[in-house]
Amino acid sequence: MEALNPFWSTTMTTAPVAEAALDAAALVARLRTTFRSGRTKPLAWRLDQLRALRALLTEQSEEFLAALHSDLGKGPTEAYRTEVAFTVNEIDHTLAHLEEWLRPKPAGVPEAFRPAEARVVRDPLGVVLVIAPWNYPLQLALAPLVGALAAGNAAVVKPSELAPATSAAIARLLPRYLDPAAVAVVEGAVPETTALLAQRFDHVFYTGNGAVGRIVMAAAAKHLTPVTLELGGKSPVLVDPGADLAVTAQRIVRGKFLNAGQTCVAPDYVLAVGDTAAALEAELAAAVRAAHGEDPAADPEYGRIVNERHFDRLTGLLGEGRLVTGGEQDRAGRYLAPTVLADVSPEAPVMQEEIFGPILPVLAVPDLDAAIAFVNEREKPLALYAFTESEQTKQRLAEETSSGALVFGLPVSHLAVPELPFGGVGESGMGRYHGEYSIDTFSHLKAVLDKPLG
Ligand code: NAD
C-alpha cells in the first residue's frame, strides 16, 4: 500500500536533521509540568489564548501571505480567505460558544439510583501534538490548535517542512503571542517528527497522507495515545442529467483549481452520468477560462505546485485520455495549467491515486447505479460531491454510499461550515474536528455520578 502512495517516498527519510538537535523529551516534560500546574484549565486562560491566536493572524497576516506566496505561489485573496480568514472564523466561532460547550451536560439517572445526579464533563487531555501538512500550511497547523487550546491542553505544533517559509513564520511569530509555557512550535522533517512521536502525548492530531498516517498511528499505539488522522483520497463528483451544467462546471472549477488542486477535499474526478459528459466538458473549459483567463499562468490568484517532485508526479499522470483544456507546463516555475481530461479509463494511472493537483479527469458512466457502484468499489472518500436536481438521487447517495462528507451543489464549501464535523472515514481518516467537534476531539468526556450519602 505504501508503495502506491504518491505522497511518500523513501527520499523523505533522508531529510536533513536540524542543526540544533531537538530535545523532544525535555520539551514534552516542560509542557506537562505546565499542564499539571493547572494553568491551561481555566476558561479565562483558554479565551486569552484564542484571542492571542486571533491577534497573531490579523496582525501578522502580511507576513503569512508573503510566506504562503513563497511556498505555494498562493495569491493574496485566496491565501487570505482560505488560510487567515478561515482560521479567524474558527476562532470567532469558538470564542462565541466555548463557555456553553464546556458547561457540564446533565445526564438522566435510572430509577434505581435516585436520588442522584449525573453529568458529562469535558476534561482536557494534557499535552497534545499537532502535525500539519504543506498544502494549507497555516490553516492546518493553527485550526487544530484552536481546538487543542480551547479544550484546555498544552500543545506542540509541527508545521510541514515542505512549506518552509510558512513553517518558519509560524515558528518565529507564534511564541510572541501564545503562552510559551504551554505552546511550542517544532520545525523539522522526518527526524524531528519521529523524535516527537517517540514521546508520550495525550493526543496526536495528524493531517497528511495515509502512509505517514500509519506511521503516526503505530508510534502513538506504543503509548496508547489516541489519534485523529485527517487524510485524503479521491473525492468524486457526480453530475446527474438535468443539472445546470454551466453552474455545475463553474463550481467544480472553483473547488478543483483552488490552490492549484492541492486541496484534500478538491473534486478529484467527475463521473458524468448518462449523456452529460460532452456538454459538461465544454462548460468546464469555458469555466476555466472565466475563472483564470486565457493564460492562467498570468492569473495572480492561480497557485503553483509545491515542489518538483510533485510536479513530476503530476505531469506523469497526463498523457492518457483526451485533453479538453490545459496541459501547459513549466517545470522551473512549477506551473501546471488547470487541465481537464476526457475519455479517461478507470485503469489509467490518474485514476489510481489521489491527484492532488490541477488535473480533472471526466469519466462517463451510464446511470446512477453505475456511478454508485464506481464509488463503492473504491476507498471511502473524504468527500462525495453531487450536482443533481433529483431528491431521489440525493437520498440514494446518502443511503448507499459512505464518505467523510456528502455535499450537493458546492464542492469544498462544507469545511467552512463550523457546525459541521470535518473528517474522513476508512482510508480518508478517523476522527473529526472544527467547532464543538474539536472540543470533543481534544477532551475526555468524563462521566460524573453523584449519589448523596443520606
Ligand atoms: P506532508 O508531506 O507535509 O506531511 C505531513 C506531515 O507529516 C509533515 O509535518 C511531515 O513532516 C510529517 N511526516 C512526513 N513523513 C513522516 C514520517 N516518515 N514520519 C513522521 N512524520 C512524517 O504532507 P502530505 O502528506 O504530502 O499531505 C498531502 C496529503 O494530506 C494528501 O493526501 C491530502 O489529501 C492530505 N490532506 C488531508 C487534509 C484533511 O484535512 N483531511 C488536509 C490537507 C491534506
Of the listed 161, 187, 264, 436, which one is catalytic? 264
How far apart are alpha carbons 91 and 79 in whole angstroms? Answer: 17
Q: Calculate the average pLDDT of the chain.
A: 95
- pLDDT value for 22: 86
What letter represents residue 418's amino acid? P
Kindly give the distance from the C-alpha atom of residue 23 to the centroid of ligand 1, in angstroms, as a whole number.
Answer: 23
Considering only CA atoms, which residue is closest to atom 1 of ligand 1? 133
Residue 229 pairs with which residues in a beta bridge?
Answer: 206, 430
Relative to the CA of 265, which ligand 1 atom is closest?
A: 34
Considering only CA atoms, which residue is closest to atom 9 of ligand 1? 160
Considering only CA atoms, which residue is closest to atom 39 of ligand 1? 230
Residue 230 pairs with which residues in a beta bridge?
Answer: 207, 429
Considering only CA atoms, which residue is closest to atom 14 of ligand 1? 190
In this predicted structure, the answer to whether residue 15 has a pLDDT above a threshold of 90 is no
Peptide bond into 115 cis (omega under 30): yes
In this predicted structure, the answer to whether residue 19 has a pLDDT above a threshold of 80 is no
How far apart are alpha carbons 226 and 201 in whole angstroms? Answer: 9
Considering only CA atoms, which residue is closest to atom 22 of ligand 1? 190
Relative to the CA of 404, which ligand 1 atom is closest?
A: 41
Own/partner contacts of 219-223, CB < 8 Å, gap of 24 or more, are 219/194, 223/199
Residues of the chain with pLDDT > 90, as a percent, come to 94
Distances (CA, A) of 356 to 120, 205, 235, 373: 41, 21, 10, 23
Each residue's pLDDT tens digit, 320-350: 899 999 999 999 999 999 999 999 999 999 9
Burial of residue 68, with CB atoms counted within 10 A of its CB: 0-12 exposed, 13-18 middle, 19 or more buried: buried
In this predicted structure, the answer to whether residue 269 has a pLDDT above a threshold of 80 is yes
- pLDDT value for 295: 97
Q: What is the mean pLDDT of residues 190-214?
A: 98
The least confident of 2-6, 108-112, 154-158 is 2-6
Considering only CA atoms, which residue is closest to atom 11 of ligand 1? 189
- pLDDT value for 307: 97
Of the listed 230, 281, 354, 427, which one is catalytic? 230
Relative to the CA of 208, which ligand 1 atom is closest?
A: 30
Helices assigned H by DSSP within 111-239: 139-150, 164-177, 190-197, 210-221
- pLDDT value for 5: 46
Relative to the CA of 137, which ligand 1 atom is closest?
A: 3
Q: What pTM value is reported for the model?
A: 0.95
Q: What is the mean pLDDT of residues 120-139?
A: 98
| Chain centre distance of CA 142 | 11
Sheet holding 443-450, edge to edge: 105-107, 117-124, 443-450
Does the annotation count 264 as an active-site position?
Answer: yes
- Indicate the top mutation candidate among 86, 134, 259 to test ligand 1's pocket, ranked by most ligand atoms within 8 A of CB: 134
Residue of 272, 339, 330, 277 lying closest to 304 (CA atoms): 330
DSSP H or E run through 429:
strand 429-430
C-alpha dihedral (223, 229, 233, 236), degrees to nearest 10: 150
Q: Where are the domains of the chain?
A: 2-231+429-450, 236-423
Kindly give the distance from the C-alpha atom of residue 356 to the centroid of ligand 1, in angstroms, as a whole number.
Answer: 12
Kindly give the distance from the C-alpha atom of residue 110 to the centroid of ligand 1, in angstroms, as a whole number.
Answer: 46
Backbone angles phi, psi at 47, to 5 degrees: -65, -40
Kindly give the distance from the C-alpha atom of residue 313 to the centroid of ligand 1, in angstroms, as a whole number.
Answer: 16
Fold (CATH) for 236-423: Aldehyde Dehydrogenase; Chain A, domain 2 (3.40.309)
Residues of the chain with pLDDT > 70, as a percent, come to 95
Cβ neighbours, 10 Å, residue 228? 24
In this predicted structure, the answer to whether residue 3 has a pLDDT above a threshold of 90 is no
| Cell representation of residue 217 | 498511528
pLDDT band at residue 21 using 50, 70 and 90 as cut-offs: low
- pLDDT value for 454: 85
Kindly give the distance from the C-alpha atom of residue 231 to the centroid of ligand 1, in angstroms, as a whole number.
Answer: 8
Each residue's pLDDT tens digit, 376-417: 999 999 999 999 999 999 999 999 999 999 999 999 999 999
Residues contacting ligand 1 via CB (< 6 Å): 7, 12, 131-135, 140, 158, 160-162, 189-190, 193-194, 207-209, 212, 215, 230-232, 264, 354, 356, 382, 424, 429
* Three-class DSSP category at 115: coil
| Cell representation of residue 413 | 464549501
Relative to the CA of 215, which ligand 1 atom is closest?
A: 19
Query: With contact defined as beta carbons under 8 Å apart, do 244 and 183 qualify?
Result: no
Q: What is the mean pLDDT of residues 435-442?
A: 98
What is the CATH code of the structural domain delimited by 2-231+429-450? 3.40.605.10
In this predicted structure, the answer to whether residue 1 has a pLDDT above a threshold of 90 is no
How far apart are alpha carbons 198 and 1 in whole angstroms? Answer: 24
In this predicted structure, the answer to whether residue 281 has a pLDDT above a threshold of 50 is yes
Does the annotation count 230 as an active-site position?
Answer: yes
Each residue's pLDDT tens digit, 353-378: 999 999 999 999 999 999 999 999 99
